[in-house]
Structure 1
Amino acid sequence: MKFRLKYVVEDVDRHGNVRLYYRRNGRKVRLRGPAGSPEFLADYRTAAAGPKEAKTDKAGRVVPKSFRWLCVQYFKSAMFQELDPRTQKVRRSILERFCEHKGDGDKPFAQLLPRHIRVRRDEMADRPEAANGMVKAVRQLYRYALRYDHHDDNPAEKVEYLKGNPDGYHSWTLAEIEKYEQVHPIGTPARLALALALYTGQRRADLVVLGKQHVRDGWLIFKQHKGRNRKPVRMEIPIIPELQRIIDATDTGDMAFLKTAFGRPFTSNGFGNRFRKWSDEAGLPHCAVHGLRKAAAARLAELGCTEQEIMAITGHRTSKEVTRYTRAASQKTRAESALRRLSLEQTPDESVPLLAAVVPGGTKSQPK
């Protein structure tokens, strides 16, 4: 019999893991599994009780010098306001959850030590990316505190990040792309989404706004969404024939190529959810839209493109992320190149072993 409780939902992350959440009135709280376990029931009761009220003074204000007070000051600062709206939303959510955890928001922020943050980080060890996101958010909070003379130390700077998946999102293989294409033929929104992601190498926040107004003489010309308020990146990407063929065969929107069932442009999150369903329909639950950006970069690397050429397509400002995207592809290309040179050095009548056997004394062993 399946265990059910009101407001409990299941979400599948990009690695295919099932996560349990309490979701009500816009709040989404992670619950430890499995469903029905003592830990699950304890988390459910806590979530159902709602967020703990912040301690206030007699005037109803948040107690000065508490962790929550510091967060409030940070949210009003220019440092926070200069961030991208999505970054603001994510960081605010992380810090508010930190405040709600065991009443940490009501404690003096000056008493927070590295060991306290490590304990909180280790409690999230099963979600290393979320744990690292928490550490990063607290680091930024205390950088604000240092800059505005609220404090003279940053305890989060001394807390190490957990080692998560070094490769990040799964990069689609050619076989996975073909499998998706078999389920979603040309002319469907799902196929157009794949083509836009694969043949432009852009993030989903850019994919949802690309439209006819960005096309000039066979080129897509636009500013990337990420960093648009601080360090805008202007992109010019040629529309290859295959992408143009798919666009022409699809019923696109007026201002955006991709549109919802109601004819309106997708939001970034809405598109991510919709693409998740399209991937699931193709039997690819482990494949996300961001993995196509990685696949595009990897394919360019396999074709011999330099990092600078790949960055001209993806819009990365530094080669660090591109190197991570293309690590496997570069290894494959180098191996192929090395063996090709080895093959050219051989004569038709010779067979040169890749590795000569070596005895401990350092001399080549002779056949017996």
Structure 2
Amino acid sequence: MAKGFRLKGIKQVRKPDGRRYVYRRVKGRLIPLPDLPENDPAFLEAYLDDENAITLDGTLGALIGDFMASNDFKSRKVTTQTVWRRRLKHIQNQYGKSPVSKLTKTHVQKALNKLTPGAARSERTIWRALMAYAVLMGWRDDNPAKDVDIQKSKTTPHATRTKEDVATFRKIWTIGTPERQAFEVIFWTGARCVDAVKIGWQNVENGVLEFVQEKTGGLAYVPITAPVASFLEKDRTLFLRSASPEMLFILTSAGKARSVKALSMFVSRAARDAELTNKTAHGLRKARAVILAENGWTPHQIGAWTGHESLQEIAHYTRDANKWAMVVETQTGNSRQPQSKVIDLKGK
């Protein structure tokens, strides 16, 4: 850099704790830069990257960059940020040069129509948040993604594991195998894979497993060593025999934690190897809710175990319950409604 030459638009802010923050002002926007001398190669590289980004100002690509650097984006769950960042980068690559002010509902609709209904529904949420941020920051006056429709299609739900499925799996995979460990932990706790990979003995207090669900933020309570109704004893015993005695309930044969994706694929593959088709980890979660429903548990009791807060969602999960058996047992006076003091969910 020539002597006396200064980079334009550099702004420095020093916080009370002594930390220094460096920004570049570009058309009213503050772009963060590394806290390095201006003649440092890394600083110049970052400065030049932003120089090139000026040409994108007012475009969807620029908006996405601002959004991902905003508190709006950073305040979301880490898992949400990871998924959204990948999808936003894809949108940026596909439509980054499009002027934000010219985007219409039709444009967003066409982008979503290229995806499957399930993926489109998730991506619509991202588009809505992105465009809401555009409105908030004055990039435009309306949200073109707000009323976008999703093409309807018939979806195949996760198949609930039946009693026969459970018996078959247990016959093929004996206690002591990693497959059986993952199966029994998910079957007993009813936890989603995103939670199953990180729950363990550190979450157990007074005989009850308590954890915050990653997906909803709601609490789930599962009896581990606390008293349970007689119809639950067998499954609970098999869980205790199978779960790892280490910190986490589920570990690989090498003693390491599994990733969410790896666990999901592992459980599905183990089911296929047992000649059980279309049987996923989520089917085990549904099976736990069904078992509780068939034995007379109320939606609120089931929700305390599975973490569901919506009674409608619990009803969706338990629609495969054996209603004939429930009705017959109630009529004959043999209802298996759990006793009021069978499980102490810490007074909650």
- Residue matched to 2:108: 117
Residue 259 and residue 235 in structure 1: after superposition, are their counterparts in 2 closer, same or farther (change >3 A)? same
Aligned mates of 1:245, 1:74 — CA distance in 2: 49
From 229, 242, 255, give the equivalent of 2:234: 242
- Residue matched to 1:185: 174
Residue 114 and residue 93 in structure 1: after superposition, are their counterparts in 2 closer, same or farther (change >3 A)? same
Query: Which runs of no fewer than 5 residues in structure 1 stay unpaired?
Result: 1-55, 345-368
TM-score scaled to structure 1, two decimals?
0.67
Superposed structure 1 runs of 4+ greater than 4 Å apart: 164-167, 338-341
What do residues 49-90 of structure 1 show as CA deviations (whole Å, max 9, x unaligned)?
Answer: xxxxxxx99921151111111111111111211111111111
Aligned mates of 1:58, 1:247 — CA distance in 2: 55
From 140, 150, 172, give the equivalent of 2:161: 172
- 8 Å contact kept, 2:158–2:278: no
SS for the counterpart of 1:312 is helix
From 264, 269, 291, give the equivalent of 2:261: 269
- 8 Å contact kept, 2:158–2:283: yes
Query: Which runs of no fewer than 5 residues in structure 2 stay unpaired?
Result: 1-47, 225-231, 334-348
Report the aligned-residue RMSD.
Answer: 2.9
Aligned mates of 1:155, 1:107 — CA distance in 2: 14
- Residue matched to 2:71: 78
Aligned mates of 1:217, 1:132 — CA distance in 2: 41
Residue 234 and residue 136 in structure 1: after superposition, are their counterparts in 2 closer, same or farther (change >3 A)? closer
Number of equivalences: 278
- Residue matched to 2:131: 142
Aligned mates of 1:175, 1:278 — CA distance in 2: 16
Answering whether residue 203 of structure 2 is matched by residue 214 of structure 1, we say yes
- 8 Å contact kept, 1:95–1:134: no
From 305, 318, 323, give the equivalent of 1:333: 323
Residue 200 and residue 216 in structure 1: after superposition, are their counterparts in 2 closer, same or farther (change >3 A)? same
Residue 212 and residue 242 in structure 1: after superposition, are their counterparts in 2 closer, same or farther (change >3 A)? farther
SS for the counterpart of 1:156 is coil
Correspondence list, 1:307-346, <5 A: 307-329=299-321, 332-333=322-323, 337=327
What code does the residue aligned with 1:82 have?
A: S
- 8 Å contact kept, 1:253–1:263: no
The Cα shift of 1:200 comes to 1.5
- 8 Å contact kept, 1:197–1:289: yes
Aligned mates of 1:113, 1:335 — CA distance in 2: 54
Correspondence list, 1:52-91, <5 A: 59-61=51-53, 63-91=56-84
Residue 312 and residue 250 in structure 1: after superposition, are their counterparts in 2 closer, same or farther (change >3 A)? closer
From 285, 289, 294, give the equivalent of 1:293: 285
Aligned mates of 1:261, 1:335 — CA distance in 2: 40
Answering whether residue 81 of structure 2 is matched by residue 96 of structure 1, we say no
Aligned mates of 1:283, 1:226 — CA distance in 2: 30
Answering whether residue 276 of structure 2 is matched by residue 284 of structure 1, we say yes
